[in-house]
Every structure is written in structure tokens, then in C-alpha cells.
């Protein structure tokens, strides 16, 4: 219907974006009625999303004519932005950005590097940047879930962690179950995506390849390759980030810093209440 009303493709796109925006706002409104306040976060994210993706569309045009090395600073910029976004899920935990950045950069770097070396991803800027962005985005989501869960688990189990420390356990030992829970939780969406691949979800990459004239079977297999890469990066990134972050919640004298920050000398009051 909209196609008949708007002949200009850009105007058509903007109208479609406005409809999608409105649908998202309806969800925010329903959430608000139920006492879930995500208005600011969702509206800012939607606005940022449309501006960023439109800018990238313009950049991709320029990339077609750029040398391959230009892909490296672009990927580095993505590592940085993804690390910052995921680290927000662990606000108040020292070093969350560094842990997240290292996790994303190392995991994505290893997977993109190996796949490029094997020739699965073409060492061309037009392959590296879009495939890299998918992989980095998966690492970011996985890190955000892992960091969020890790912080929640630590906060909920301060008594058990302190007890284990007071019995002479190493910091790593005291948080091991919570690190495991965080990594497991971060991979749930990836495992579900693999499980329902082709049944519930037909990914865009495969659709695009078929529309561009690729053999549908090859497009499907290549989509699976990308999904495998995404899963590997997400898992590796969460594990590397957790390896870094679990050290950050303890001082060099093996004291739980989250407790120190929260306590503020109120332990007597808390105990007596």
C-alpha cells in the first residue's frame, strides 16, 4: 500500500521507519502501564539506531571504493562502542569497560582472523565490515547479558561469597558458580537461535544472498557458517570478559569490592534490623 503512495524510496523508508517506531512506542506504553519504565532507554536507543544505521548505509557506499586496511579502524571503533554499551550493564563494577572491550576484541579478532585466514570470509572490506559487525554485535549482546547476570548474582550472594572468603577460599572459587551462571545465561539466545534456525527465523543474510542470485542451498549453508561464527564469538567473548571481570570485583587483598561499596558502615544497622 505504501509503495503506491510514495514513489521516492528514501521517503518510503522514512515512513516505514516511523511506523516501526510507533509500534515500538506502543510496546513502551504498555510496559509503562505495567510499571516497567523503559521509556527513556528505548526512545534514545531507537533514535540512535535510526541515525547510526542510516549513517552506516552512507559509509558503506564510500567503503566500496576504499582500500582493505580501512576495515581495521572501523572494526576497532565497533569494538570500542560495543564494549562501552555492554559495560553499562555492570555499572558500579570497576573495570567493566576494559573487561568487556578485551572480551569483544579478542573473541571477535580470533574468530574473524581464523575465518579470514581459512578463506570463509573474504579479506575484502565489503565482507569484513558487515560480517564483522554481525559478530561484534553478537559478542556485545552476549557480554551485556553475562555482565548483567554476573552483577545480579554477586549482589544476591554477598553473604555466601564473604563466607567462602572468610573460610580461606580464593576469590575465583567464591564466584565460580556465578560466573558459570552468567556465561550460561548469555548463551541462551544464541542456542535458541541455532535451534530454531530456518524454522522460526530465516536470517537476513541468507535472504539477501538468495535475492542477489546465490544458490539457495549455498546461501543456507553460508548462513549456518555465520551463525556458527556468531555463537563462537558470543561464547568466547562472555568467557574472556568473565575471566577479567571476576578479578575486578576483588581488591588485591581479596576483599569483595561490591560489599565495601555497599556497606558504608551500615552493616550494624542492616544486621540489627
Partner 1 sequence: MNLAPTQDSAVILRVENLGYESDGKTILKDISFDLSRGEHLAIVGSSGSGKSTLLRLLNRLLEPSRGTVYFGGQDYKEIPPRELRRKIGLILQQPYLFPGMVADNLRFGPAQRGETISDEAIAELLANVDLPDFAARDVANLSGGEAQRVSIARTLANSPEILLMDEPTSSLDEESRQQVEKLVCGIAQRQELTFIIVTHDMEQAGRLADKALVLEQGRIQRYGKVEEILHVK
Using CB under 8 A as the binding rule, the residues of this chain from 104 to 133 that contact partner 1 are none
Stretch that binds partner 1, among 8-16, 167-175, 211-219, 235-243 (CB under 8 A): 167-175
Residue 67 burial (CB < 10 Å; 0-12/13-18/19+)?
Answer: exposed
Give CA separation, 87 vs 84, 152, 263, 266, in Å: 5, 14, 23, 28
Applying CB under 8 A, which of residues 52, 68, 163, 196 lies at the interface with partner 1? 163
Stretch that binds partner 1, among 158-166, 183-191, 207-215, 222-230 (CB under 8 A): 158-166
Residue 102 or 250: the one with the smaller Cβ distance to partner 1 is 250
| Minimum distance of partner 1 from residue 169's CB (angstroms) | 5
Q: Is 91 in the site for partner 1 (CB under 8 A)?
A: no
Torsion angles phi and psi, residue 121, rounded to 5:
-105, 130
Residue 66 or 94: the one with the smaller Cβ distance to partner 1 is 94
Stretch that binds partner 1, among 7-15, 33-41, 156-164, 225-233 (CB under 8 A): 156-164
Residue 250 and residue 110: Cα distance in Å, rounded?
28
Q: Is 263 in the site for partner 1 (CB under 8 A)?
A: yes
Residue 8 — left, alpha, or beta (φ > 0 → left; ψ -120 to 50 → alpha)?
beta
Q: Is 266 in the site for partner 1 (CB under 8 A)?
A: yes
Applying CB under 8 A, which of residues 51, 114, 160, 221 lies at the interface with partner 1? 160
Q: Is 166 in the site for partner 1 (CB under 8 A)?
A: yes
Applying CB under 8 A, which of residues 32, 52, 207, 251 lies at the interface with partner 1? 251
* Per rule CB under 8 A, count of chain residues that contact partner 1: 28
Residue 162 or 222: the one with the smaller Cβ distance to partner 1 is 162
Q: Is 45 in the site for partner 1 (CB under 8 A)?
A: no
Longest CA span, the chain: 73
Give the residue among 184, 193, 183 at the shortest CA–CA distance from 229.
Answer: 193
Q: Is 192 in the site for partner 1 (CB under 8 A)?
A: no
Give CA separation, 149 vs 193, 217, 260, in Å: 20, 38, 20
Applying CB under 8 A, which of residues 25, 70, 162, 225 lies at the interface with partner 1? 162
CA 62 to chain centre: 26
Residue 181 and residue 85: Cα distance in Å, rounded?
21
Residue 182 and residue 195: Cα distance in Å, rounded?
20
Contact 111, 233 (CB under 8 A): yes
Applying CB under 8 A, which of residues 16, 170, 180, 196 lies at the interface with partner 1? 170
The contact set with partner 1 (CB under 8 A) reads 159-160, 162-170, 173, 251, 253-256, 259-260, 263-269, 271-272
Amino acid at each position: 500500500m505504501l509503495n503506491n503512495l510514495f514513489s521516492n524510496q528514501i521517503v518510503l523508508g522514512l515512513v516505514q521507519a516511523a511506523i516501526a517506531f510507533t509500534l515500538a512506542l506502543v510496546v513502551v506504553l504498555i510496559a509503562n502501564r505495567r510499571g516497567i519504565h523503559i521509556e527513556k532507554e528505548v526512545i534514545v536507543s531507537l533514535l540512535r539506531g535510526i541515525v547510526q544505521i542510516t549513517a552506516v548505509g552512507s559509509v558503506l557506499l564510500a567503503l566500496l571504493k576504499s582500500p582493505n586496511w580501512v576495515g581495521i579502524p572501523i572494526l576497532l571503533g565497533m569494538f570500542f562502542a560495543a564494549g562501552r554499551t555492554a559495560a553499562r550493564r555492570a555499572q558500579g563494577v570497576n573495570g567493566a569497560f576494559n573487561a568487556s572491550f578485551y572480551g569483544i576484541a579478542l573473541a571477535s579478532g580470533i574468530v574473524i582472523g581464523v575465518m579470514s585466514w581459512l578463506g570463509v570470509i573474504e579479506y575484502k572490506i565489503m565482507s569484513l565490515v558487515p560480517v564483522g559487525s554481525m559478530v561484534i554485535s553478537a559478542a556485545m549482546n552476549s557480554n551485556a547479558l553475562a555482565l548483567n547476570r554476573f552483577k545480579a548474582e554477586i549482589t544476591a550472594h554477598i553473604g555466601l561469597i564473604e563466607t567462602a572468603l572468610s573460610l580461606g577460599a580464593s576469590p575465583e572459587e567464591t564466584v565460580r558458580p556465578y560466573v558459570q551462571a552468567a556465561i550460561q545465561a548469555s548463551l541462551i539466545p544464541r542456542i535458541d537461535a541455532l535451534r530454531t534456525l530456518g524454522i522460526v527465523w530465516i536470517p537476513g543474510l541468507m535472504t539477501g544472498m538468495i535475492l542477489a542470485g546465490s544458490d539457495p542451498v549455498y546461501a543456507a549453508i553460508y548462513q549456518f557458517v555465520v551463525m556458527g561464527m556468531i555463537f563462537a564469538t558470543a561464547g568466547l567473548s562472555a568467557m574472556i570478559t568473565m575471566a577479567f571481570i571476576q578479578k575486578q570485583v576483588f581488591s588485591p587483598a581479596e576483599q569483595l569490592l561490591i560489599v565495601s561499596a555497599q556497606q558504608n558502615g551500615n552493616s550494624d544497622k542492616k544486621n540489627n534490623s
